[in-house]
C-alpha cells in the first residue's frame, strides 16, 4: 500500500528564515495548498491521510469537512505547529475528534521531533509516524531506528520511507529536488523491499514559495514548488497506478497489520 500523507498546519516556516508572516496569511497559504492536493486526490480517486494541527482544523473548518467528506483520514499533528506540551497530545486528539466526528488514531510530531511513546500511548493513539529513519544534519540522526514499521510501548511506529541500504530519505525535499525518474526508481525499490511506502508532503509546498523578499527560503526548498509540484505528484500517482499499486490511509494500513 502507498501511504500518501500531508502535514496540514500553520505555515510558520518563514520564521525559521527570519521573516514574519501573519497568522491569517499562514492559514490562507496552507488552505490553498490543501485544496490543490484534494483536487488531485479527487481526480485520481485515491485516499490519503492528513495530519492536522488542532489550530489549523479550528481555523479551516470547511477544508476539514471536505477532507472528511472525501473519505480521507484525519490524524493529529499536535495542537500547535511550534509549541508543544505533553498535554497537547490528548488535547489535539480530542479537538480533532470533536471537529470531525471521527476517531483519531494516529499522531505525527511537527518537524519529526522526538516524542515520548509512553505519552503517545496514554493519549490514546494507536500509531505514531514521527520517525524519519535516516541522518539529516542539523535535524536528527535516526540511523539506529528500524526502516520498517515496528512496535514501541504498545504503539505502532510507521517511519517515513527511506531506501534500503543507504537509507536515502524519500521525504518532501527529495520529492522537490530529485529528477522524477530517480525518485520513482528509489520509491519503487523501497516498495518492493518493504511492501509499502510512507511519503509525506505539506500543503504550502504546492504554493509559490519562490518569493525571496517574503520568505527567504533556500533554493532546495523553493525548487519545483507550486504548480510544478502538483505536476510531480500527479506523475507520481500515475506511475504507481500503472504499476497497479494500491493507495490508502494509515488507518487502512494499520488494519492489515493487526
Predicted confidence at residue 182, as pLDDT, reads 98
pTM: 0.97
Cα-only R_g, the chain? 17
Distance of CA 118 to the CA centre of its chain: 22
Predicted confidence at residue 60, as pLDDT, reads 98
pLDDT digits (tens, 9 = 90+) for 200-250: 999 999 999 999 999 999 999 999 999 999 999 999 999 999 999 999 999
Indicate if the pLDDT at residue 258 is higher than 80.
no
Predicted confidence at residue 138, as pLDDT, reads 85
Indicate if the pLDDT at residue 34 is higher than 80.
yes
111: three-class secondary structure by DSSP = helix
Task: Report the alpha-carbon angle 201-206-209, nearest 5.
Answer: 110
Predicted confidence at residue 80, as pLDDT, reads 95
Q: Residue 200: left if φ>0, alpha if ψ -120 to 50, beta else—which one?
A: beta
Indicate if the pLDDT at residue 40 is higher than 80.
yes
**Arithmetic mean of pLDDT over the chain:** 97
pLDDT digits (tens, 9 = 90+) for 118-145: 999 999 999 999 999 999 998 889 999 9
Averaged pLDDT for residues 185-196? 98
| Alpha helices by DSSP H, the chain | 23-44, 54-58, 61-69, 87-100, 117-122, 172-177, 180-194, 212-215, 219-222, 227-242, 250-257
- Map grid coordinates 523578499 to a residue: 213
Domain extents in the chain: 2-257
CA distance 166 to 155: 26
**Among the listed residues 24, 21, 28, 1, the one whose alpha carbon sits nearest the alpha carbon of residue 195:** 1
Indicate if the pLDDT at residue 195 is higher than 90.
yes
The CATH superfamily assigned to 2-257 is: Glycoside hydrolase/deacetylase (3.20.20.370)
Amino acid at each position: 500500500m502507498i501511504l500518501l500523507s500531508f502535514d496540514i498546519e500553520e505555515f510558520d516556516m518563514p520564521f525559521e528564515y527570519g521573516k514574519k508572516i501573519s497568522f491569517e496569511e499562514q492559514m490562507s497559504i496552507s488552505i490553498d495548498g490543501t485544496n490543490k492536493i484534494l483536487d488531485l486526490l479527487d481526480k485520481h480517486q485515491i485516499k490519503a491521510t492528513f495530519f492536522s494541527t488542532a489550530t489549523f482544523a479550528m481555523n479551516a473548518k470547511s477544508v476539514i469537512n471536505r477532507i472528511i467528506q472525501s473519505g480521507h483520514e484525519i490524524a493529529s499533528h499536535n495542537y500547535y505547529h511550534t509549541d508543544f506540551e505533553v498535554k497537547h497530545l490528548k488535547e489535539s486528539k480530542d479537538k480533532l475528534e470533536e471537529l470531525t466526528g471521527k476517531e483519531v488514531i494516529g499522531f505525527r510530531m511537527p518537524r519529526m521531533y522526538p516524542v515520548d511513546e509512553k505519552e503517545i500511548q496514554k493519549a490514546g493513539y494507536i500509531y505514531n509516524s514521527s520517525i524519519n529513519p535516516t541522518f539529516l544534519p542539523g535535524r536528527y540522526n535516526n540511523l539506529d531506528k528500524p526502516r520498517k514499521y515496528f512496535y514501541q510501548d504498545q504503539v505502532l511506529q510507521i517511519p517515513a520511507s527511506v531506501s534500503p541500504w543507504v537509507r536515502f530519505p524519500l521525504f518532501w525535499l527529495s520529492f522537490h529536488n530529485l529528477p522524477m525518474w530517480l525518485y520513482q526508481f528509489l520509491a519503487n525499490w523501497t516498495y518492493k523491499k518493504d511492501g509499502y511506502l510512507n511519503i509525506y508532503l505539506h500543503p504550502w509546498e504546492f504554493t509559490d514559495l519562490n518569493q525571496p523578499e517574503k520568505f527567504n527560503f533556500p533554493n532546495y526548498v523553493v525548487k519545483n514548488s507550486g504548480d510544478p509540484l502538483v505536476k510531480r505528484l500527479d506523475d507520481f500517482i500515475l506511475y504507481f497506478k500503472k504499476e497497479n499499486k494500491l493507495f490508502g490511509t494509515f488507518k487502512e494500513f494499520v488494519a492489515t497489520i493487526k
